[in-house]
Structure 1
Amino acid sequence: MDWPSLGIMLFLAAAGFAAAFIDSVAGGGGLIAVPALLMTGMPPDAALGTNKLGGTAAALTSSSAFLASGNVDWRTVRLLFPLSFAGALLGTETVHLLSPEFLRPLVIVMLGVILVYTLFKKKAAASPAGDVHLTRKALRLLVPAAFAIGFYDGFFGPGTGSFLLFAFLLAGYGYVGASGNAKMLNLGSNLSSLLMFLLFGSVQFGSGIILALFMIGGAWTGSRFAIKRGAAWIKPLFAAVTAILIGKQLWDLLIG
């Protein structure tokens, strides 16, 4: 196993903590982690695979915190988790056959819709996730969404946390409950993609272990912050991360 230099270790530690903190609250941690890995000179496929190692560790940490706090609807997540896992498995396999770049314009539009919805939506309910009684209509939304967003996470990735959180908001959850459920499904898609990247040999373990350790710390801190502060902080941070995601995708589209 090749370990990075001390300077790169410190850089990845800071980037991993910040990425996981933001991701556990509002999604979008890949905006920090993937560019940080690329800046170390890592090839793109290795950066994506190594990021999944850190992301899986972070998602496990934050989802455990949300679950312990009662802000995960386990009945619904138990149904949707295998769909997210299977979708990401197929998405990660597909990315080796097709270029995902054609999705970028569509992602910009979808993120724009999410941003407008977030800014103009009235305050979401603050009841615990387990108190939400889902209608069949909501399940008809969440079942295909879990598979499709899981596939998207394995195939392309940017904005996955935003899309998951948005889906649960539409289903009637408050911001904290939606965040908790989203992290559980994100755990499924991250784990699935990680297994595929391991199979393809696209994970650099030295950098990945450093990233994962500090992402665990960032995820624990961020999830506790989200649970304690609630929608008052999650909503504006979610809107800010979504806006940055839009800017990043537009920039990549224009300079590409």
Structure 2
Amino acid sequence: MINLILLCISGFIAAFVDSIAGGGGLISLPAYMLFGLPPHIALGTNKFSSTTAALTSSIRFIKEGKADLSLLKFIVPFTFIGSVLGVKSVLIINQSFLTPLVMILVLVVGVYSLFSKNLGLESHYKGKTRKLIIIGTFFGFSLGFYDGFFGPGTGSFLIFGFIKIFKLDFVEANANCKILNFTSNIAALITFAIEGKINYFYGVLVALFMVLGALIGSKIALKKGAKLIKPVFVTMSLAVSIKMLLSL
């Protein structure tokens, strides 16, 4: 019973952190594995519960008007397609060679954000253009594929990409990121469900706590703004790099 309580608390913290700046999987996935679930079941169950949290955060950000749905309607389909192809590809391609590369990229993103004092603190978004839509759809497809194929650091790449491409602040970038993250998660979740790799008892239980964590986290992110999100984002980006380094 104590282990189950700790698992639920871990889910709450993971969703809370993830709704602010991404990286919640660093907390929730190891928690499932420490609880004793086999790796493939832990992956599927974590995807189930984290998808519900991503949906909760997405709805909250949409209600507050922080997500640009007129832009996302072009990007979301490509993100979903990319994720489906990524999931299918991971079944036939060895992904181990990606770990060192991704670790370096996430580290660069974190360090660059740390030393760029004004990065993402103010929004300079001037609306969508044909060029931005084309770049955005390619970006969404690529990150969707990556999330389905490998995953670590997806949140960091999405937030950083929205800031650099669309000149959004951290709050707006995080809002749009959550919707794309939810989209790519759905594709992977469907695959895990078809393969029977989800423990729904634990998944539903933890999902309830993750929904609560996502609600509180997104509320704080909206209230505190970019000045809160940026340091958490940098911290989680560096944490992803360290976690991947230790797994080499």
In 2, Cα distance between equivalents of 1:158 and 1:236? 19
Which among 176, 180, 188 is matched to residue 175 of structure 2? 180
- Whether 1:232 aligns to 2:232 is no
- What are the Cα deviations for residues 131-162 of structure 1, in whole angstroms up to 9, with x where unaligned? 64134443343221111111111111111111
User: Matches of residues 134-173 of structure 1 in structure 2 within 5 Å?
Assistant: 134-171=128-165, 172-173=167-168
Q: Gapped runs of 5+ residues in structure 1? A: 1-5
Aligned to 1:192: 187
CA distance in 1, matches of 2:193, 2:126: 37
Report the 3-state secondary structure (helix = DSSP H, G, I; strand = E; otherwise coil) of the residue aligned with 1:101: coil
Q: Is the 8 A contact 1:19 1:215 kept in 2?
A: yes
1:90 equivalent among 81, 85, 92: 85
**Alpha carbon RMSD of aligned pairs, Å?**
1.5
Matches within 5 A, 1:40-51: 40-51=35-46
Question: What's the secondary structure of 2:96's corresponding residue?
Answer: helix
2:27 alignment counterpart: 32
C-alpha distance 62-132 of structure 1, shift in aligned 2 (>3 A): farther
- Between the aligned partners of 1:167 and 1:152, the Cα distance in structure 2 is 14
In 2: Cα distance, 1:112 partner to 1:140 partner:
27
SS at match of 1:162: helix
Q: Which amino acid aligns with 1:133?
A: G
Aligned equivalents of 1:24, 1:79: Cα separation in 2 = 23
Relative to structure 1, is the Cα distance of residues 120 and 140 closer, same or farther in structure 2, using a 3 angstrom cutoff? farther
1:175 maps to a residue whose letter is F
1:20-68 per-residue CA deviation (whole Å, 9 max, x = no partner) reads 0111111101000110011111111111111110111001000001000
Would the aligned equivalents of 1:87 and 1:151 in 2 still touch at CA under 8 Å? yes
CA–CA separation in structure 1 for the residues paired with 2:133 and 2:101 = 24
1:71 aligns with 2:66: yes
1:61-88: CA deviation from partner (whole Å, max 9, x where unpaired): 0000100011001111111111111111
Supply the distance in 1 between the matched residues of 2:65 and 2:104 (Cα, whole angstroms).
34
CA deviation after TM superposition for structure 1 residue 109, in Å: 1.6
Residues 107-146 of structure 1 mapped to structure 2, 5 A cutoff: 107-123=102-118, 124=120, 126-127=122-123, 132-146=126-140
Task: Tell me which amino acid in the other structure corresponds to 1:160.
Answer: T
| Aligned twin of 1:62 | 57
- Asked if 2 retains the 8 angstrom alpha-carbon contact of 1:12 and 1:207, the reply is no
2:27 is aligned with what amino acid? I
Structure 2: which 5+ runs fail to align? none
Greater mean alpha carbon deviation, residues 141-150 or residues 233-242: 141-150
Give the number of aligned pairs. 246
Normalising by structure 2, we get a TM-score of: 0.94
Q: Is the 8 A contact 2:79 2:137 kept in 1?
A: no
1:8 aligns with 2:29: no
Q: In structure 2, do the counterparts of structure 1 residues 240 and 184 end up closer, same or farther at CA, with 3 Å as the change threshold?
A: same
Equivalents in 2 of 1:250, 1:241: separation in Å? 14
Q: Does 190-199 or 118-127 show the bigger shift? A: 118-127
